[in-house]
Structure 1
Amino acid sequence: MPRSQNKTTPTDQTAESFLAGVQPPRKAEEAHALDVLFREVTGFEPVMWGPSIVGYGRYHYRYASGREGDFLATGFSPRKAAHSIYIMPGYADFGGILSRLGKHKLGKSCLYVNKLADIDLDVLSELIRAGLKDLDRLWPVAPI
């Protein structure tokens, strides 16, 4: 089966130019802080995936159905309502870490944080590392 075409793919836009346009100013400050944290934790340079996701690393997946493609390994998007933080692929139980994170909401492969002051950034770093380790066990993670 040919590779599927994901809607969310790497773009030529720089993370720096995207982050420079984030509004309001508090959201922009927090987005810059997340960028620093993700760079430190992952060791990867950021790449824009689609118009609004800052991604770090990538992985190639192939499902039993034959569908395959590439996607960001981890990252975030400073959305208007909350920061969306992507911990891929969302199969592991990170309940122990999440219980120490602070105020957040959970989606399938992401979590939502209204403001960084609501969470413990050291615990977020631990969660990102655990997510990458889990992902790498299934599909190797590499820089883009």
Structure 2
Amino acid sequence: MTSNKKKIKRSAKLLQVSSKYGLQDMLSRISNGSDSDSEKNKAGYERLRLALEELGPSFVKLGQSFSNRDDLLPKDFILELQKLQDRVEVVDMDVKMILEKSLDIVVDEYFNYINTMPIAAASIAQVNKAQLKNGQDVILKIKRPNIVGFVCYHYKYKSGHEDDAPILGFAPRKTEFSLYVFTGLEEHDYLLKDLGKFKMGKACIYVKKLFDINIDALKILMQESINYISEKYERTT
């Protein structure tokens, strides 16, 4: 399929979903301040969340990125977007110890406080609120333990943040395995077709039993992820 055909297909789906959930009318009312009815707004927020879910992983991630921005969005909207977060078990982590060990700092010299109860828990990391010594409120994203990674690459965002991360990985959980083998891009959704029994998470694939998975399809999925990341970023291993 050519690039233009893909763009047309994505645009058609966006228009279809927007029409299905009445997003244009809902967003127009909210932006113009013409709808102050709290219950109507809650219903609108729910429709927007459902639309993001239907549009796929990229749009779900967009919603998740705003789910802790209570400085920008209404509380009811935040509560609705938080439903997009992975429903994974919160891991008990010593955030202070992790920061001091990884950053080589004394936490009390940099932070007024760190909320030890995560405001969000996803497959790879948990999110905690904190406040710096200058009074600035910040969000800490702490990687969860027990994730085994393979084939590392180095990334750098436009914001200047950079780090190393594994292209592939897995983590054993109490009731399932978490497989980090998928790019999350809509153009790669076809690779999931023959994979078998799984549940799609925010950044991983949940599998209850490994024999539920088509190993040949998994190998293809893993290789495509390696090829994509290797073309976009610098491999370190």
Aligned-CA RMSD value:
2.4
Q: Distance between the aligned counterparts of 1:131 and 1:109, measured in 2?
A: 13
How many Å apart are 1:50 and its aligned residue? 6.5
How many Å apart are 1:89 and its aligned residue? 4.8
Q: Distance between the aligned counterparts of 2:222 and 2:172, measured in 1?
A: 17
- 2:154–2:236: 8 Å Cα contact kept in structure 1? no
SS of the aligned residue for 1:84 comes to: strand
SS of the aligned residue for 1:134 comes to: helix
TM-score by length of 1: 0.60
Aligned length in residues? 98
Q: Distance between the aligned counterparts of 1:126 and 1:108, measured in 2?
A: 21
Q: What code does the residue aligned with 2:154 have? A: H
Q: Distance between the aligned counterparts of 1:50 and 1:87, measured in 2?
A: 17
- 2:164 paired with 1:70: yes
Partner residue of 1:112 out of 194, 206, 223 = 206
Larger radius of gyration: 2
Aligned to 1:58: 152
Q: What code does the residue aligned with 1:112 have? A: Y
How many Å apart are 1:127 and its aligned residue? 0.5
Q: 1:136 to 1:75 in 2, by over 3 A?
A: same
Q: What code does the residue aligned with 1:69 have? A: D
By relative contact order (CA 8 Å, sep 6+), the higher-ranking structure is: 1
- 1:60–1:68: 8 Å Cα contact kept in structure 2? yes
Aligned to 1:130: 224
Q: Distance between the aligned counterparts of 2:162 and 2:197, measured in 1?
A: 34
- 1:53–1:76: 8 Å Cα contact kept in structure 2? yes
Q: 1:128 to 1:134 in 2, by over 3 A?
A: same
Partner residue of 1:94 out of 165, 188, 192 = 188
- 1:73–1:141: 8 Å Cα contact kept in structure 2? no
- 2:180 paired with 1:81: no
- 1:88–1:135: 8 Å Cα contact kept in structure 2? no
Q: Distance between the aligned counterparts of 1:113 and 1:88, measured in 2?
A: 13
Task: Give 1 or 2: higher strand fraction.
Answer: 1
TM-score by length of 2: 0.38
Unaligned runs of at least 5 residues, structure 1: 1-5, 10-48
Q: Percent identity?
A: 38
SS of the aligned residue for 1:65 comes to: coil
Q: 1:92 to 1:73 in 2, by over 3 A?
A: farther
How many Å apart are 1:128 and its aligned residue? 0.5
- 2:182–2:222: 8 Å Cα contact kept in structure 1? no
How many Å apart are 1:118 and its aligned residue? 1.0
